[in-house]
């Protein structure tokens, strides 16, 4: 039978100075671990939230992102009359040819300029994205040089407030409203009228086409048809699939999280080991006494492993609490697909915190293993004679 948990708990409390140092050390490691993953999770979530399973996005074959794609007006004319496309109550095909552009804008915090995405949309394009809702001001008027900016993006760029002006070369776009895109990738965009965008930015063609097929069979048929048509050289895929591939932006952050996590956890293991070695050294006679009373070597090993895990779990809890206030905090990074600023929120989810806790316990157990074995291997008589 193992020693009672209160024995470990009280020992951890009694040695509060070394406990505090170790707990704080492990807490920092766990906080960084959780936050880096919360960052990656936020980027993934913003892409994952974006698509509608019923929509199909058409881009040029070989292009990685909409901003690097060209769909000609001829392509659009060909596609919009295809039978597979659903029609609204007015009998119009639900299809939107859109233009995606990159405009450089000054950051609000004065750290220079960054690229942001401007999307030229049509009324159909807005119908296809019901998650995008106006929260302040009004929508742009087609034919006018007006733009509606994502609220989260507005918080990060100067001139993106209502009444502000977005400059691009000689052109000026008046900000007339803010929208909220429910944490999706559109939260990193500014929207304006598609034809006006083509006119201002002097573009002959579009970047992409978003459409709604009549049903699932029509969707499959349409994808096959567009893929097979060699003249078009277009790629059609479900909108959700397109955006799930955009989560590539999270990959470098995940790699960084892995590298930093590994390096810091090695340090934390040594910190835990140091504390546990000190703990074992100061309790050698206690270990001898427990052995005399009949506790086996295994019970002693288990006792110190539990104590190390307990110590580290305390650090894990503190680390999660340190990370928690950043939950929902919006920040931005460069999207490696579009090379424009992408806005997302830290997502410190319960499962991430559980991962953080498990991570801390692993650190604790790894750090306690050698001290625990040392304690258990001591001959009883040697342990008893220790001062």
Binding mask 323-362 for another protein (x = CB under 8 A): ----------------------------------------
Q: How far apart are CA 231 and CA 383, in angstroms?
A: 85
The DSSP code for 188 is G
If one asks whether residue 377 binds another protein (CB under 8 A), the answer comes out as no
Q: Considering the complex, state which of residue 357 and residue 376 has its C-beta at the smaller distance from another protein.
A: 376
State the maximum Cα–Cα separation within the chain, in Å, rounded to a whole number. 94
Contact 335, 188 (CB under 8 A): yes
- HSE, side-chain direction, 13 A CA sphere, residue 64: 9
**Nearest to another protein of 63, 289 (CB atom):** 289
CA gap 329, 345 in Å, rounded:
5
Q: Which is nearer to another protein, 165 or 384 (CB)?
A: 384
Least Å distance, CB 183 to another protein, is: 49
Separation of alpha carbons 192 and 123, rounded Å: 10
Q: Which is nearer to another protein, 248 or 278 (CB)?
A: 278
Measured in whole angstroms, how far is the alpha carbon of residue 7 from the centre of its chain?
Answer: 41
3-class SS of residue 230: coil
In the range 227-256, which residues lie near another protein by CB under 8 A? none
Residues 8-47 that bind another protein (CB under 8 A): 10-11, 14
Considering only residues 86 to 115 of the shown chain, the ones binding another protein according to CB under 8 A are none
Quick one: 225 or 297, whose CB is closer to another protein? 297
Q: Which range touches another protein (CB under 8 A), out of 47-55, 63-71, 171-179, 378-386?
A: 378-386
Minimum CB–partner distance for residue 22 and another protein (Å): 18
Angle between helix 16-48 and helix 350-377 axes, rounded to 10 deg = 150
CB nearer another protein, residue 110 or residue 294: 294
Looking at the chain, how many residues does it have? Answer: 387
97 strand-pairing partners: 209
Residues near another protein (CB under 8 A), total = 23
Secondary structure letter of residue 189 according to DSSP: E
Site for another protein in 277-296 (CB under 8 A): 285-286, 288-296
DSSP state letters, 33-49: HHHHHHHHHHHHHHHHT
| Residues near another protein, by CB under 8 A | 1, 3-4, 6-7, 10-11, 14, 285-286, 288-297, 380-381, 384
């Amino acid at each position: 039978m193992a020693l009672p948990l209160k024995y470990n708990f009280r020992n951890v409390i009694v040695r509060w100075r070394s406990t505090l140092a170790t707990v704080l050390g492990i807490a920092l490691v766990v906080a960084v671990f959780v936050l880096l993953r919360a960052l990656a999770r936020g980027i993934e979530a913003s892409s994952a939230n974006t698509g509608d399973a019923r929509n199909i996005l058409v881009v040029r074959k070989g292009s990685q992102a909409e901003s690097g794609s060209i769909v000609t007006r001829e392509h659009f004319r060909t596609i919009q009359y295809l039978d597979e496309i659903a029609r609204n109550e007015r009998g119009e095909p639900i299809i939107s040819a859109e233009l995606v552009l990159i405009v450089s804008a000054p950051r609000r915090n004065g750290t220079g300029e960054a690229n942001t995405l401007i999307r030229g949309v049509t009324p159909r394009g807005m119908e296809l994205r019901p998650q995008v809702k106006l929260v302040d001001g009004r929508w742009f008027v087609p034919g006018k040089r007006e733009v509606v900016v994502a609220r989260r993006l507005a918080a990060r760029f100067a001139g993106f407030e209502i009444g502000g002006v977005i400059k691009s070369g000689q052109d000026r776009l008046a900000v007339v409203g803010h929208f909220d895109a429910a944490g999706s990738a559109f939260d990193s965009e500014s929207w304006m009228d598609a034809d006006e965008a083509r006119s201002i930015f002097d573009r002959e063609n579009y970047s992409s086409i978003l459409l709604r097929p009549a049903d699932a069979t029509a969707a499959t048929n349409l994808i096959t048809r567009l893929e097979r048509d060699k003249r078009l050289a277009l790629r059609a895929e479900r909108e959700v699939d397109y955006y799930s591939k955009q989560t590539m932006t999270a990959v470098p952050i995940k790699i960084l999280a892995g590298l930093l996590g590994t390096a810091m956890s090695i340090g934390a293991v040594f910190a835990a080991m140091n504390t546990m070695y000190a703990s074992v050294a100061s309790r050698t006679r206690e270990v001898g006494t427990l052995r005399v009373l009949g506790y086996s070597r295994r019970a002693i090993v288990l006792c110190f492993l539990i104590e190390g895990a307990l110590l580290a779990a305390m650090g894990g809890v503190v680390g999660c609490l340190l990370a928690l206030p950043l939950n929902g905090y919006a920040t931005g990074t460069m999207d490696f697909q579009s090379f424009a600023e992408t806005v997302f929120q830290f997502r410190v989810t319960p499962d991430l915190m559980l991962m953080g806790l498990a991570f801390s316990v692993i650190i604790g157990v790894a750090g306690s293993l050698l001290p625990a074995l040392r304690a258990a291997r001591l001959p009883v008589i040697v342990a008893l004679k220790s001062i």
